[in-house]
Amino acid sequence: MDGALKVHMHAIKTGHGTVQMIMNCAHMLHEAGRLDDCFRVLETGVSVFPFPEVLDIWTYYTTRLARAIGKTDVERVRDCYYSATQQCPPNLPCAALVYFLWARWEKAEGRPRRALEVLQDGADAVEVHQSRYELLSMAASWAGEAYGVLKARSILEQAINVAVEPALALELCFRLVSIEEALAEASRSRDLYKHMVRLALTAPDQEESLDRVFSHWKAFEVAHGNEASYKQMLIARRTAMIAIGKVTIARTADQVK
């Protein structure tokens, strides 16, 4: 095994190694119980290869290190995850995965607050809008489990503000409005429904999205509103339907041109 290790290390240091060679060597050492040598090989690998090629090595390294020393040397594991986030360019989709793996480990070890911090740090760092949305959406779910709806509410509001696609923002709004209704926040719920109408008007499936929004809004007014608030909902619906008609006419005219 020592001979094979020397061959692998020589190939890597002379620029002839591959990611798969690193993975095979590290796995062989890990199975043999030689963890220090395993981690040394992985450290060499992450210093040689760039993202996204090195993602598999970082994933294997952080996972194995966390299992081996995660309960006795928390800071070393954190440093490892942090190094991975710093090496990964924020404009790559895989950047969100690195933050997720770190947060999942913190959560599994019973540190939900730290896990949320990692997800939110990731959302601030990554540059891919879809990744930012996914990290914040996950943070909202975890916050609700650990700390209740008030914490989830604040994160959902943040996620809505960064969601570029109307359909994604609308889904987050449905989650948020259910919280507002559960908290008996009638005014906040109505303001949110008005915002959802605006989002639905910019969604690809306008009519379907509007029907869904007004179906929920109507149910809310029936359960919690009065005659005046119900009429305001109907006015908003009629205005939205008129807007759909104008959009359809404009698109037809553009097509004729």
Question: How high is the pLDDT of residue 129?
Answer: 85
Question: How high is the pLDDT of residue 4?
Answer: 66
**Residue 238 neighbours by CB under 8 Å, 6+ apart:** none
Cα–Cα distance for residue pair 189/179, rounded to 1 Å: 9
For the four alpha carbons of 122, 99, 84 and 72, in that order, the dihedral sign comes to positive
* Least confident window among 160-169, 181-190, 212-221, 231-240: 160-169
Cα–Cα distance for residue pair 170/6, rounded to 1 Å: 56
Question: How high is the pLDDT of residue 1?
Answer: 59
Q: Determine the Cα angle at 145 with ends 151 and 117, to 5°.
A: 55
Cα–Cα distance for residue pair 93/209, rounded to 1 Å: 28
Per-residue pLDDT of 69-97, as tens digits, reads 999 999 999 999 999 999 999 999 999 99
* Least confident window among 15-24, 45-54, 113-122: 15-24
Per-residue pLDDT of 205-251, as tens digits, reads 999 999 999 999 999 999 999 999 999 999 999 999 999 885 444 44
**Mean pLDDT on 8-24:** 79
Q: Where are the alpha helices (DSSP H) in 126-185?
A: 129-147, 149-162, 166-182
Residue 137 has pLDDT above 70, yes or no: yes
Q: Is 99 helix (H, G, I), strand (E, B) or coil?
A: helix
User: Secondary structure of 192-203 in the HEC alphabet?
Assistant: HHHHHHHHHHHC
The burial of 38, by beta-carbon neighbours within 10 Å (0-12 exposed, 13-18 middle, 19 or more buried), is given as buried
Residues of the chain with pLDDT > 70: what percent? 92
